[in-house]
Structure 1
Amino acid sequence: MPAGIAPDVCAGWLRGTVAATPPVLGKTLTGRAVADALCAQYYGSRWRMAEFHDGRYGSDLVLSGGWSFWAYGCVPGGTRCWTAIDDQQANPWN
């Protein structure tokens, strides 16, 4: 984790890297598997769509939070991204 980051419940540490695919219409994301496959197509088999609770915090980074997270990567400012949420019906596919 980079110096100067203080993860908490609302802004955790992803423990990884983020990237954005080219623009995608929400209606094309018909399921989590479709979204994950799109990420894998552009970045490799281990890539998947980010999830709302991916940010981790606590002394050993095992607690998960929500709203935002820090990560390695270079996504231009102002970029809007689809993000999954596992415990709500608030995804493009539902």
Structure 2
Amino acid sequence: MSNLYTIPIALLLAVLCVNCEPLNRAYRAALQLESGITIISSTSQGKKGLTFVKEAHLVDFGIDLVGCRNWSDPNGMDCNAYSGDTLCTERRPVLCTKVDNSPRPAYIILGQGAAMPAYFYAGWNRGHIATTVPVQGSQFANRAAVDAYCAQSFGTGWNVAQFHDGMFISGMNGTTYSGASWTNNAKNQQSGGWHYYSYGDVRNDIRFWVHIKDQPSTCWAQ
């Protein structure tokens, strides 16, 4: 069959028979062989990425709490660290960070924790955060591309923020392991997750793209 007929028929069947996978695959393959055109699969179109949100700003310290969910918002949503929570075709700011080893301020950690102690969920990222303009998560091929976008937006040393950026020292709270004590015990710092504090005052009206290194829940490759 000539290209004149193969391509229209393949397109028609690929559109009308989206649930007929064997036939659909066959005609998509025929279309690609005849025309070199690649049809994007529905699974790639439904890819989701991980996002964080601003939860609070502590004026006394000039720091933000960012993380999975803002519990003060009755309509807030949870993040999904395992399979993503926001379609990658949606536009969200990228949460960027610059780690400069700033000592932890003496913020108070409340609550009893959950699977881990409370300080695991209230780590310190050792620097600053900022947000870019909203962009599609799908525009980035890999983490390096997101890092480059943060550096382009804010300067050298800025990278995409990560799920595990918050660091903690066992038993830290208030003045315990803050300031010089935090710095002097750097060897005891460990990675937390889900929420953390950082210098900054980012927007609170939208969620942000973030990276996670050990799950397939980012819009881009590792």
Normalised to the residue count of structure 2, the TM-score between the two structures is 0.40
Question: What is aligned with 1:66?
Answer: 193
Matched AA of 2:134: P
Indicate which of 127, 130, 155 corresponds to 1:44.
155
Query: Are 1:9 and 2:120 an aligned pair?
Result: yes
The residue number in structure 1 matching 2:168 is: 57
Corresponding pairs, count: 94
Cα 1:17–1:5, aligned 2, differ >3 Å: closer, same or farther?
farther
Choose 1 or 2 for highest CA Rg: 2
Which residue of 1 is the match for residue 211 of structure 2? 84
Choose which of 202, 207, 217 in structure 2 pairs with 1:75: 202
- TM-score, reference length from structure 1: 0.90
Farther-moved stretch of structure 1 (10-19 vs 58-67)? 58-67
Query: 2: CA distance between counterparts of 1:2 and 1:78?
Result: 25
Distance in 1 of aligned mates of 2:162 and 2:192: 11
Provide the rounded CA distance (Å) in 2 between the counterparts of 1:57 and 1:50. Answer: 17
Partner deviation per Cα, 1:40-86 (whole Å, 9 max, x = no partner)? 00111200000110000015361101101100011011331111000
Residue of structure 2 in register with 1:20 after alignment: 131
Which residues of structure 1 form unaligned runs of 5+? Answer: none
Instruction: Extract unaligned runs of 5+ from structure 2.
Output: 1-103, 110-117, 170-176, 178-184
CA–CA separation in structure 2 for the residues paired with 1:46 and 1:88: 24
Query: Quick one: distance in 2 between partners of 1:84 and 1:44?
Result: 19
Which structure dedicates a bigger proportion of its chain to helix? 2
Structure 1 residue 11, shift from structure 2 partner: 2.1
Which aligned runs of 4 or more in structure 1 are off by greater than 6 angstroms?
Answer: none
Identity across matched positions, percent: 43
